[in-house]
Amino acid sequence: MVENGLGQRANIRRDTWTRRLAKYAKTASMAASGYIGDSPLFMFDYLMRVLRVLVLLSIWRIVLSEEGASGLSLQAVLTYTLISEVFFSQLNPRTSMEDAFWQGTIAGRMAQPLGLFEQFTSETVGRWFFEWCCFSIPLVLISPLLGVNVLPASLGAGLLFIVSLLLAVSVGLALEYIFCALLVIWQLPLWVMLQIRSAFITLLSGAMLPLAFLPDLIGEIFSWLPFASMASAPLQIYVGAGNTLLLVLLQVFWSVLLWPLAHWLWFKGREGMISYGG
């Protein structure tokens, strides 16, 4: 009888998990397909990103000799730049939560049978699938034409990159939810804060410039901040630079610290939430 009860409970739990995963997958697929209907301008942004990567590659070729600088060869820097663009959205994960504040749809989101973080994370991941197909994979495929070797420094580096990328997404999403919670708690003007954030995040994270290329003290300070765990850490691992163990441990540290903080801030702030309108 007891065994039966436990078995039933396990089944229910399994069922709940599979149902939940199915809901996440459905949300993700809706977000991915919604791209074409709702945001036909995505090609414009992809074009901009291709142009940006071409310009950056050309700048590196002008600035660096074959030996490179700060322990990074020219080829490693080119790989770093291209992989940074290939995984741009994972290295700087952005949900549509701010937009939901702005449109006023956040209230409806709170009534849905999924947690807020789960809804927005699933949608974000869904959009990534679309982006990988339309942008990232084609960019990798044309990389030989750009004279860039996209392979990781070694097989081990490639495998560790996957782990580090997952941790980078974790840190990035935690920071995204903290940012949104702070917008609510301090009632800050949304677009203004987004502008500031966009202006600095690519620099602080090392997504555009390897932190090793920044003036000494600045680069050193930036490398210990959580933003560096979003992009600099996985990219360094990919090209075989930096202390891998330290980079991964730092990512784990920030992930463990920031997620409870994000939850706590949302718990504290949600009562005071005011959406901006419709």
Partner 1 sequence: MAAKLNSMWRTLKRIWQLWMFYAKLDLLLLISDVRLALIYFSSELLTSIGSVIGLLLLAQRFDGIGTWTLNHLYVLLGYSTLVLGILNTFFNYNLSLISRRIGRGQLDHVLVQPQPLWMIFITEGFAPLSGLMGLIPGILLFAWGLIGLGVSLDLGWWALLVLNLFASGTIMMSFNYIWGSLAFVAPRSSEEISSSASRLLDQLKVYPLDGLGGLLLGSLMTVAPVGLVAWYPVRALLGLNSSAWSIWITPLAALFMLGIALFCFLKGLGYYATTGSQRYSSLGHRS
Which residues of this protein are in contact with partner 1, per CB under 8 A?
38-41, 44-45, 47-48, 51-52, 54-56, 58-59, 61-64, 69, 188-189, 192-193, 195-196, 198-200, 202-203, 208-209, 213-215, 218
The smaller minimum CB distance to partner 1, of residues 75 and 259, is found at 75
Q: Output the six-digit token pair for 142.
A: 């044309």
Please, what is the minimum distance in Å from the beta carbon of residue 244 to partner 1?
Answer: 24
Please, what is the minimum distance in Å from the beta carbon of residue 98 to partner 1?
Answer: 14
Give one word for 206, left, alpha or beta, with left for phi > 0 and alpha for psi -120 to 50. left
Please, what is the minimum distance in Å from the beta carbon of residue 70 to partner 1?
Answer: 9
The smaller minimum CB distance to partner 1, of residues 99 and 118, is found at 99
Neighbouring residues of 228: CB distance < 8 A, sequence distance ≥ 6? 204, 205, 206, 211, 222, 250
Please, what is the minimum distance in Å from the beta carbon of residue 107 to partner 1?
Answer: 18
Strand partners, 69: 72
Q: Output the six-digit token pair for 215.
A: 């003036």
Please, what is the minimum distance in Å from the beta carbon of residue 42 to partner 1?
Answer: 9
**Residue listed under structure tokens 């409870």:** 260
Please, what is the minimum distance in Å from the beta carbon of residue 176 to partner 1?
Answer: 18
The smaller minimum CB distance to partner 1, of residues 140 and 208, is found at 208
What whole-number distance in Å separates Cα of residue 111 and Cα of residue 27? Answer: 15
The smaller minimum CB distance to partner 1, of residues 41 and 111, is found at 41
The smaller minimum CB distance to partner 1, of residues 5 and 215, is found at 215
DSSP H helices, 39-151, are 42-63, 74-86, 88-91, 97-103, 106-110, 116-131, 137-141
- Determine whether 169 is exposed, middle or buried from the number of CB atoms within 10 Å of its CB (0-12, 13-18, 19+): buried
The smaller minimum CB distance to partner 1, of residues 138 and 253, is found at 138
What whole-number distance in Å separates Cα of residue 246 and Cα of residue 236? Answer: 12
